[in-house]
A and B are shown apart, each in its own frame.
Chain A
């Protein structure tokens, strides 16, 4: 059994509920004292049982946007030692912070997932999360350091370098995104490199994938594949642990989860810098309280699709609104467009209107270049620009 912190991960239900009640009560005290937004919302609501959580107000992503940057902080900035930027609804910026204690705890939660994936002090870990999932690497690095495993500090920027590092440094564990893992397999096939010649034993993916993809990655890299699941605004990784049975157990000593009309709602019990009460994550989920052979007592989460219009390009979140905003900054401002999302980039189909027509193709080619470079510079994504007579859907 691979349980890093049995004292908390395998806590009997009655003790877990006592701990949750204690932590929820002190969370409310801290929120009422330190966060004006919550002080008004919570007012005199008292919690005497964990079930009373349902009487407390919810927090939405819009609340975070409205109180950007520091309105939701429950600690003065002098106590906050790390800030992470995030993409909020419609591409609006969000920020989350960590106190020293938050980071130590993140390390322990990261270690829970790594240990469950079989990582030990003897492992060498390559973390290759690339653009979109990069902020999660902090959690994995802290987790690996907590365990005492060796981490290769550089995140290879290109799959060629990644392969070179895999061959030279011989890491046994690879933490990466499904997109990158697929790309790596493609390269191995192209170069005719036998995955068994690498030393990889475990692949930990930054997000859940379906059973088919998991099998393909497992075969393509000749290593066991595990997934992690988290929510950026809360903690990713760290919200739950995927056990050897393939179930996501919520770290219930740290987070309270509810499935509110099928939506995952999370309360952070111990986060200090930015504690969140009943945060509506916009992710569909099912929560089941079931016994698991791994011995963990945390509720089992089955994450589903997103409820908002967030897209995923090259593992980074993207909203259609952001495309419109980038276009506003270019000579194509105001033109209607249609967006197609590919695995590693996007195709933007712009309506060819009279003002764009010229005698030669050069103005159009220049516009294509301008737009592509704007998309890369502002959003970090590869964009193909296509001009069409009339896009099927007008934004």
Chain B
């Protein structure tokens, strides 16, 4: 197992938002975490990389406990987070953004070529300010920047956010191709359909607890997935 999480709890102030979640990701897998607003998806990812210190539980990367390590160590554990809303450096060029991603990587110049091979459109805009790119291109840049760190495990926080449906399709196709590079992906999403199409397995998170998990093929039309989003439970068996 590349990532093993057991009984993870985290929160803000006195408010616990993730209540003892366990999940795992095997090398080479694409795993999705689905859930509506406020389910605790982003907090969970932040906790895995150490941006939000866990309150309890265990996180192991390639078998090594990492729950007490600061966020900056996660890069040397080959775990890289692509945060929500892309968070690219808008006032820097595409090239600079990519090189920043490989800041600790001595072979970053070589890797830049590889990343540009993967995302040729970024190559066409190397000197352009990142803030002037379209939404889809910015997301590709965020992905490319993460790849510069040579991750084994890539954590993606809502890569579809703010993108037009056609662009979402394009971005998700790129994510699927990451598998060929030997990158394992844990993706957190509200866009259930797009995630279920590319992921091997998914977990459905609701109010900080996993209510359902399984192979994507099984959950594609699962009523519980819809229910998790609409937030509507039921009280009677006759409903």
Using a CB–CB cutoff of 8 Å, the interface residues on chain A facing chain B are: 14-15, 18-19, 21-23, 25-26, 29-30, 33-34, 46, 48, 70, 73, 75-79, 101, 104, 270, 272
Contact = CB atoms under 8 A, between A and B. Distances in A.
Interface size class of B (residues with CB under 8 A): 20 to 34
A25 B239 CA distance: 26
A15 B63 CA distance: 11
Contacts of A33: 211, 233
Contacts of A270: 214
Interface in B1-38: 1, 4, 6-7, 20-24, 26
A101 B222 contact: yes
B237 A22 contact: no
9 contacts: A15-B26, A22-B210, A22-B213, A23-B213, A26-B213, A33-B233, A34-B234, A76-B236, A76-B237
A219 to B, nearest CB: 43
B210 A18 contact: no
B211 A26 contact: yes
Given A29-B211, A48-B20, A77-B239, 7 more contacts: A15-B1, A26-B210, A33-B233, A46-B20, A73-B237, A76-B236, A101-B222
B111 to A, nearest CB: 32
A106 to B, nearest CB: 13
A97 to B, nearest CB: 10
A22 B234 contact: no
A29 B209 contact: yes
Interface of B: 1, 4, 6-7, 20-24, 26, 203, 209-214, 218, 222-224, 233-234, 236-239
A76 B211 contact: no
A96 to B, nearest CB: 14
A24 to B, nearest CB: 9
Contacts of B203: 22
A104 B21 CA distance: 27
B6 A76 contact: no
Contacts of A14: 1
A77 B7 contact: no
5 shortest A-B CB distances, which residue pairs?
A70-B237, A76-B239, A22-B22, A26-B210, A29-B209
A104 B218 CA distance: 9
Most chain A CB within 10 A, of B1, B223, B239, is at B223
A227 B7 CA distance: 39
B39 to A, nearest CB: 13
A21 B58 CA distance: 13
Contacts of B222: 101
B30 to A, nearest CB: 16
A38 to B, nearest CB: 14
Contact of A77 (B23, B212, B237): B237
A104 B7 CA distance: 29
Given A33-B233, A48-B20, A104-B218, A26 B209 contact: yes
Given A77-B238, A79-B223, A104-B218, A18 B24 contact: yes
A21 B22 contact: yes
Given A21-B6, A22-B24, A77-B237, A30 B211 contact: yes
B213 A18 contact: no
Contact of A26 (B212, B233, B236, B238): B212
Contact of A22 (B23, B223, B239): B23
Given A46-B20, A101-B222, A104-B218, A25 B237 contact: no
A104 B213 CA distance: 15
Contacts of A34: 233-234
Contacts of B211: 26, 29-30, 33
Contacts of B4: 18
A70 B236 CA distance: 10
Contacts of A272: 224
A75 B211 CA distance: 13
Contacts of A78: 239
A19 B26 CA distance: 12
Contacts of A25: 20-22, 209-210
A384 B2 CA distance: 66
B218 A18 contact: no
A78 B234 CA distance: 11
B44 to A, nearest CB: 14
Contact of B210 (A29, A73, A75, A104): A29
Nearest to B1: A15
Nearest to A15: B1
Contacts of B6: 18, 21, 48
A198 B223 CA distance: 47
Contacts of B218: 101, 104
Contacts of B236: 76
Nearest to A46: B20
Contacts of B234: 34, 76
A19 B210 CA distance: 13
Among B21, B22, B211, B239, residue most surrounded by chain A Cβ atoms (within 10 Å)? B22
A112 to B, nearest CB: 16
A15 B23 CA distance: 11
Nearest to A71: B237
